[in-house]
Structure 1
Amino acid sequence: MPEPAVAGRYKLWDGPVRLVHWLLVGLIAFSWWSSEDHLNWHRWSGYAIIGLVIFRIWWGFAGGGAARFSSFVRGPATILGYLKTVGRRDPSDVPGHNPLGALSVLAFLVVLLAQVGTGLFAVDIDAFEAGPMSDRVSFETGRQIAEIHELTFRVLQGLVVLHVLAVLFYLVWKRTDLIGPMITGKRALPSDPGLAAAPWWRLALGVALAGAIAWALSKGLRF
């Protein structure tokens, strides 16, 4: 597919953003596969997802360049203005997430938080398998939370389908490859967006914070 007229390929997505993105892709698929007959693996996959989501939220404030929420989250007027351009065949040259993509990112984070959060309290129908914090609620409440856990996964599946369709739409109609940059970190753009990287200590602190919270939740907040 042809790219827009560009001056070169410039750094867009940093390593942490790309790693979180692809790990979430794999873990969501793995959690789906393990949800019936491999519940122990399913739980550990959920803990890993918790850590990744917490880190991504941290990185949205502490990261650099296109990783920051402030670089892509926009108000209603900007979103509506961008909607008017979606039908055009002009390749998208927005560095980072466009205003609609920003909504997708926020929706994924919210639904994933709901998904893993309910999983911590969910109880199966025989009370044989349960989340690490299920003893904080009654059996009936745990079963209701399990139903919400299932429902949020259906919502997550819908978001995944919409995301894939959007990527294909941009590739075929707007002649903009969104997959390659999420692999290489670089994208063809009219000019260098000049996105600054975050210092290493913010990365280390975010990893430690996310790991500590995920570990604590896996233990039911008991130490």
Structure 2
Amino acid sequence: MATQRIYLWDLPTRLFHWLLLAAFVAAFITGQVGGNLIVWHGRLGVLILALVVFRLVWGLIGSTYARFSQFVAGPGAIARYLRGQWQGIGHNPLGALSVMALLALIATQVGTGLFANDDIAFTGPLYALVDAELSNRLTGVHKFLSDVLLGLVGLHVLAVAYYRRIKKHDLLTPMVTGWKNDAPAHSRSAQGGGIVAFATAALVAGAVAWAVGSGWLGHTFAPPPPPPAATETPSW
């Protein structure tokens, strides 16, 4: 089959992908280590929230192959893909399910973290909106989902390797360079998603992150106060 080189993944999509990966790994490590790093765990959570919001907006107004309308498909498309009858580019119907599942789980993970606590001094920015019992439950969900997401990230890496070695489809290079060298001859390069769309998505993401993160201003990022000094009991 004749192929051609097309522009597949725009720069904002690629930046989102790699920034999300780096932020997730850093958040997982800081969450496991705890201690003073728990502050950075919280900050990274707000960053991840901003990235997810950006991607959701970008999925509506971004370039061709970044839009949800282009790759989110129903059961029929998934069945055709499993039978080897799917001829599109970008996220295949099965990969689209993976993308949406990851976004949903990450959003849930971040959402629970906003109300979580570490049983010591750190609390999420929206902790005051719930009672202690609900916060503890959400903290448990938050910790559980971190392991689930770690497993899904591992499966994602294995899927990329499988497509590269077994199916001879290079999914990694286009996500680095933006260009796909072996697209079907009838394919077209991505269109749309210009500077106005990017600025809109970035402003929405920044506004959400600021609105949430402002709950920490002035107190949560500061270290806990030292215990009061012991006073000597008068002998009389």
Alignment CA distance shift 1:7-1:33 (3 Å): same
1:181 to 168, 174, 180: 174
Partner of 2:133: 140
Q: TM-score, normalized by length of structure 1? A: 0.90
Task: Quote the Cα distance in structure 1 between the aligned partners of 2:24 and 2:83.
Answer: 33
Q: TM-score, normalized by length of structure 2? A: 0.85
Partner of 1:109: 103
Task: Quote the Cα distance in structure 2 between the aligned partners of 1:102 and 1:27.
Answer: 22
1:34 to 25, 30, 35: 30
State whether residues 9 and 190 of structure 2, in contact with CA within 8 Å, keep that contact through their aligned partners in structure 1.
Answer: no
Task: Quote the Cα distance in structure 2 between the aligned partners of 1:41 and 1:63.
Answer: 30
State whether residues 8 and 178 of structure 2, in contact with CA within 8 Å, keep that contact through their aligned partners in structure 1.
Answer: yes
Task: Quote the Cα distance in structure 2 between the aligned partners of 1:221 and 1:81.
Answer: 49
- CA shift, 1:6, in A, is 4.7
- CA shift, 1:140, in A, is 1.6
Q: Number of residue pairs matched?
A: 212
Task: Quote the Cα distance in structure 2 between the aligned partners of 1:39 and 1:154.
Answer: 17
- Tell me whether 1:156 sits opposite 2:149 in the alignment: yes
- Tell me whether 1:124 sits opposite 2:118 in the alignment: yes
State whether residues 63 and 190 of structure 2, in contact with CA within 8 Å, keep that contact through their aligned partners in structure 1.
Answer: yes
Structure 1 segments unaligned to the other structure (5+ residues) = 87-91
Partner of 1:13: 9
State whether residues 9 and 178 of structure 2, in contact with CA within 8 Å, keep that contact through their aligned partners in structure 1.
Answer: yes
Deviates more, 1:194-203 or 1:54-63: 194-203
Q: Which has the larger radius of gyration?
A: 2
- Tell me whether 1:201 sits opposite 2:200 in the alignment: no
- CA shift, 1:154, in A, is 1.6
Sequence identity percentage: 41
Structure 2 segments unaligned to the other structure (5+ residues) = 218-236
Q: Give every structure 1 segment of 4 or more consecutive aligned residues whose post-TM-superposition deviation is greater than 6 Å.
A: none
Partner of 1:89: none
